[in-house]
Amino acid sequence: MTVYIDIHEPDDIERHISSLGIKTERTKLDVGDYYFYGITIERKTVHDLYNSIVSGRLWNQLFTLKDNSDRCLLLVTGELPLIFSKEDIKRRNIIIGGISSVMLSIQIPVVMIRSDMDASYFISQMYLSCGKDKSRERPIPVKKKYESIEEIRENMLACIPKIGIRNAKNILKRYKTIRDVCNASIEDLKKIEGISNKRAYLLLKVLREEV
């Protein structure tokens, strides 16, 4: 069995995995960065994780990962930013909040590792723990998923930080279209289960670009 590694991943991680006698192969993965025994691992540095949370890119990426993987996890390398200013506190809270959303809303496990060296040992130990299971030896291509309009709307709202699928469903029970949500007030949105003042404000800020 081979550990398939995306072409954009660091060479050091591949060398460390190979040094343990594990066969590796570089390839362009449709989803994730590492694949073996039906397990897909998405690796991000703390800096990349922060940027992808702020841009909203992370949510689409992880929904695709979950939809096209038997088992998957998010592996984060690096340490949380030290606190020297209010901006550092804000960045740290965004990262921690994003990780919480990944685990609770999307239900993907998150593992934080200090360095690329530690990441390589973690991946290697996962591989060795899988034993002789021969299921899905090669990564599968991304499935074409035909969603209903309702599911597309749910996923659009769920991509907004602190919203998630459950809150998106609750919002769309009250407002049937994205346009209706845009026209809602913060006070109206706060009446929905799970929507706080901060969530309502952020939701409208994203949808309207201004509040």
pLDDT score of 178: 87
pLDDT at 86 over 90: no
3-state secondary structure of 119: helix
Whole-angstrom distance, CA of residue 75 vs CA of residue 78: 10
pLDDT score of 153: 82
pLDDT at 97 over 80: yes
Which of 131, 30, 114 minimizes the C-alpha distance to 72?
30
- What element of type H or E holds 129? helix 116-129
Average pLDDT over residues 53-72: 87
Least confident of 11-25, 30-44, 60-74, 157-171: 157-171
Whole-angstrom distance, CA of residue 150 vs CA of residue 138: 33
Residue 173's region, left for phi above 0, alpha for psi from -120 to 50, else beta, is alpha
pLDDT score of 137: 55
User: How sure is the predictor about 211, in pLDDT bands with cuts at 50, 70 and 90?
Assistant: very low
3-state secondary structure of 180: helix
pLDDT score of 132: 55
Least confident of 70-74, 164-168, 191-195: 164-168
Average pLDDT over residues 185-200: 91
The tokens 């694949």 sit on which residue?
35
User: How sure is the predictor about 176, in pLDDT bands with cuts at 50, 70 and 90?
Assistant: confident
Q: How far is CA 14 from CA 3, 19, 119, 138, 144, in A?
A: 9, 9, 10, 17, 30
pLDDT score of 131: 64
Q: Is 168 exposed, middle or buried, given 0-12, 13-18 or 19+ CB atoms closer than 10 A?
A: buried
**Structure-token pair, residue 197:** 């003042």
- Write down the pTM of the prediction: 0.64
φ, ψ dihedrals at 102, nearest 5°: -60, -45
Q: How confident is the prediction for the chain on average, in pLDDT? A: 86
**Structure-token pair, residue 75:** 């592996």
Helices (H) and strands (E) in the chain, counts: 10, 6
Whole-angstrom distance, CA of residue 122 vs CA of residue 89: 29
Residues 6+ apart with CB under 8 A from 32: 6, 40, 41, 42, 65, 69, 72, 139
Question: Which ranges of 11-74 does DSSP label H, i.e. alpha helix?
Answer: 11-19, 46-55, 57-67
pLDDT at 5 over 60: yes
